[in-house]
Structure 1
Amino acid sequence: MLTSLFDSRHERLLKAIDNNDLDKVAGLLAKIEAALLITPGKDGRHALEQALQAEEPRILELLLQKAPRPLPTGRCGTPLACLALQQANSLPHLTLLLQAGEDPNLEHQGQPLLHLCIETCEPSRLMLHLSRLLQHGAEINRPDADGHTLMQRLLPHGDQALLQFLLQSGAECEEAWLEEVNNAELVTQLKRVLDDLRIRKLMLGG
């Protein structure tokens, strides 16, 4: 009887998450064991994974406050942060996971989280996601599975604001990479940013 009671609460919690019912989720969390938050439901997803698809980020926030550590992966072994990137409402969910201790330098299938942002985020949202990961300690010069850094991968796209942001955030940029860029105006601007950074470093005694 006790087991069926907890099973029932577990299924009701998962249903409340699916329905984006924040009040019901909060009420059920007060009565449920923390271990059940990482117990798969009938479709193989646990509550945390399910919450990544919820429209209301507060649901994931409430679950993370009670969920045991370390955080589990999704049903296919994919880290929750990687799953978050695949959602339309990715930034608030990614932020909550990082605040809960998710590793900003984790790798999935050989790709660091920063590089996965390039593959999953729309250009208009990419800088925000990279910035959030860098704020939490992601290594900006960490190469991908092919040995390329973020700067190398994004240079061909020619997004001046994004490239300047990377340089000002500590991205390395070799002269040979700039020589391969066909946009002379962009190269001039990036070299100016690099010169400014070198001067600032000298003034600070670096």
Structure 2
Amino acid sequence: MLTSLFNSRHERLLKAIIANDPDKVAHHLSKLDAEQLSVPGSDGRHALELALTDSTPRTLELLLNKAARPLPPARCGTPLVCLALQHSDSLPRLTLLLQAGEDPNLIHSQRPLLHQCVEHCETATLMLHLSRLLQHGADIDQSDADGCTLLQGLLANGDLPLLQFLLQSGARCEEEWLTALEDVALATRLKRVLDDLRIRQMMLGG
């Protein structure tokens, strides 16, 4: 009887998430334990994954406020914070997960979250995603499996605003990286950015 009652309440919660009904989600949440949010439904997805992929950030926020820590991965084994980056409206979902304690320096499939942002985020919002991770303590010089930092990997793309943002955010830049650039004009611009940063630090007594 108890098992049947739990299954019924659990199923109602999952249906409310899919229906994108935060009020019903809140109602069903009050009758379930935190650990039950990681119990998979009939399709293998638990409540948090459903909220992350099929519902609004508000529903995800409600679940995160109650969910046990650490947060469970998605059914495919992908950490939720990585899955969030693949959503079309990823920034609010990423923010909620970071606020819930997800590791901004997490590495999945040999790629740090900062590097995964470049892979999944639209150009128009990429710097916002990177900035959000940096605000929560991401290491801007964290290397991927090839030992390449984010700045080092993006130099060849020639995106000056993005590269300037990384430098101004404290990214390490080796002289030989700029020397190796085929785009001499870009290398010159970046050297000027570095010189300006050094002068600013000197003026501030850094």
**1:95 maps to which residue?**
95
Aligned residue runs from structure 1 range 1-206, under 5 A: 1-206=1-206
Matches of 2:59 and 2:156, distance apart in 1: 39
Amino acid at match of 2:141: N
Matches of 1:116 and 1:182, distance apart in 2: 26
Amino acid at match of 2:152: Q
Provide Cα deviations, 1:62-82, integer angstroms capped at 9, x if missing partner: 000000111111112211100
Question: Once superposed, what is the RMSD of the aligned Cα atoms?
Answer: 1.2
Unaligned runs of 5+ in 1: none
Alpha-carbon offset, residue 31 of structure 1: 1.4
Do the aligned residues in 1 keep the contact of 2:17 with 2:55 (CA within 8 Å)? Answer: no
Do the aligned residues in 1 keep the contact of 2:13 with 2:25 (CA within 8 Å)? Answer: yes
Provide Cα deviations, 1:37-76, integer angstroms capped at 9, x if missing partner: 1111111111111111134100000000000111111112
Unaligned runs of 5+ in 2: none
Alpha-carbon offset, residue 174 of structure 1: 1.2
Provide Cα deviations, 1:122-157, integer angstroms capped at 9, x if missing partner: 222211111100000000001111110001111111
Matches of 1:89 and 1:3, distance apart in 2: 36
Provide Cα deviations, 1:1-47, integer angstroms capped at 9, x if missing partner: 22111111111111111111111111111111111111111111111
Alpha-carbon offset, residue 92 of structure 1: 0.4
Matches of 2:6 and 2:55, distance apart in 1: 26
Matches of 1:109 and 1:173, distance apart in 2: 25
TM-score, structure 1 as length reference: 0.96
Alpha-carbon offset, residue 204 of structure 1: 2.7
Matches of 2:148 and 2:130, distance apart in 1: 16
SS at match of 2:161: helix
Provide Cα deviations, 1:82-118, integer angstroms capped at 9, x if missing partner: 0111111111001000000000001101111111111
Matches of 1:134 and 1:179, distance apart in 2: 27
Matches of 2:55 and 2:35, distance apart in 1: 24
Matches of 1:187 and 1:165, distance apart in 2: 15
Q: Percent identity?
A: 69
Do the aligned residues in 2 keep the contact of 1:55 with 1:89 (CA within 8 Å)? Answer: no
Do the aligned residues in 1 keep the contact of 2:37 with 2:48 (CA within 8 Å)? Answer: yes
SS at match of 2:148: coil
How many aligned positions are there?
206
Amino acid at match of 1:51: A
Provide Cα deviations, 1:139-182, integer angstroms capped at 9, x if missing partner: 00011111100011111111111111100001011121112323
Do the aligned residues in 2 keep the contact of 1:22 with 1:58 (CA within 8 Å)? Answer: yes
Matches of 1:54 and 1:188, distance apart in 2: 46
The range that moved more, 37-46 or 178-187, is 178-187
Give runs of ≥4 in structure 1 deviating > 4 Å.
none
